[in-house]
A = this chain, B = another copy of it.
């Protein structure tokens, strides 16, 4: 019965006078925030957007992102957040695939304008819409099984898939986040990680229910974040590891008063134990925590609270035990459960797990079996169910907190006329966690340079997916019996120089 309209209505009626969000010079109470959400929904309704219609959003973080996150689903519309780092062709695919009727954006997006009926520019149209639209009653006949948002994520097939998250999923996510992070009404959340990822915005559902506050920054910058933490008494920040490393370096360079910060939780990719040690040294009074999850699970799957206490123990490197309300298993290729310590695929069951991929029954059937989401990640559980993730079965690279599917990059490389064989894999990188690395074999008699290939890729895929380095080799790549390129062999060769 409970939908995203509920925390919004709750925050409005219980904490109307409290500040919900601080966005630069702009400070908005929960009463104002709820009214803006209702006006936004009314404005879109007047433009012809109906219940179930998709609305794409391409924007930096800010209070308007939060308004769209709550207001559109609360009125029955489906939000489609777009990753601002994607290439125009990638964005166009998502807008077309989702069938979005409207695009809300803070930047010129000519290549998308022809795909939708209306483009709402945040700089002017958005505020006019809000000003001119009398608030619309929300939550009219909403059901927890209604889709609230489509979060597109890369996939092994190369094209991004739209992860359907229902109201029920995002409400389960709220309970999950409140418990996993011990949120309460005094918390001040730093809205710095990208809000186009579900991990960057979903914590705000629980926070609204508790009457907590969010301080947004348009995008991550370590100096700005530390200034904001000190200025606004931020209590909780959930950066990706790359951000955490930058934050540690900046706080070393110029220490700010971070005494308000009670929890620094990171997720998004494997983290070096060394970074945890450094973070604990630089933020000695702050609890460190590691979380593991995926867009498809929407919420925290496992959590390792007080990670600083695991340094030097057998738990260092684990991403923790299953969160409350989440069941996990590791399974063998035949579906049997693994023994303690045995590596297998991690599968997840919880009320926050997606109902499937938008208009993609085959991918849905492959990922969701008997109520369990198959993550594609490989890991093992110890005898107290601490999870250790050891590899990505999906051939995925996590670079700067963004997932890069090797196949997407390989597809782009193969589209160059000179490329006969291409293999893409992740290599350790101090700044990005992992860097995208490629090895290419040209067709006989043809030649190509690293620079040409990188320029070619930039036309087709997001900058963060473009290989940082491309080795051009004249030898055929090593292959398995059935002819599959043995990437692990290539990767090992690379790592051993």
Contacts and interface: CB of A to CB of B under 8 A. Distances in A.
A351 B2 contact: yes
B14 A171 contact: no
Q: How many of chain A's residues touch chain B, expressed as a range?
A: 20 to 34
A325 interface: yes
A14 B318 CA distance: 14
A10 B322 contact: yes
A15 interface: yes
A182 B327 CA distance: 22
Interface in A331-362: 349-351, 353
Nearest to A325: B2
Interface in A188-241: 206, 209-210
A174 B179 CA distance: 11
A473 interface: no
Contact of A1 (B1, B15, B184, B371): B371
A493 to B, nearest CB: 39
A325 B13 contact: no
A346 to B, nearest CB: 15
Nearest to A17: B384
A487 to B, nearest CB: 34
A88 interface: no
A349 B13 contact: no
B16 A384 contact: yes
A14 B321 contact: yes
Among A16, A175, A349, find the residue whose CB has the most chain B CB atoms closer than 10 A.
A175
A324 interface: yes
Interface of A: 1-2, 6, 9-10, 13-16, 171, 174-175, 178-179, 182, 184, 206, 209-210, 321-322, 324-325, 327, 349-351, 353, 371, 384-385
By Cβ-Cβ distance, the 5 closest A-B pairs, closest first, are A175-B175, A209-B324, A1-B371, A14-B385, A13-B385
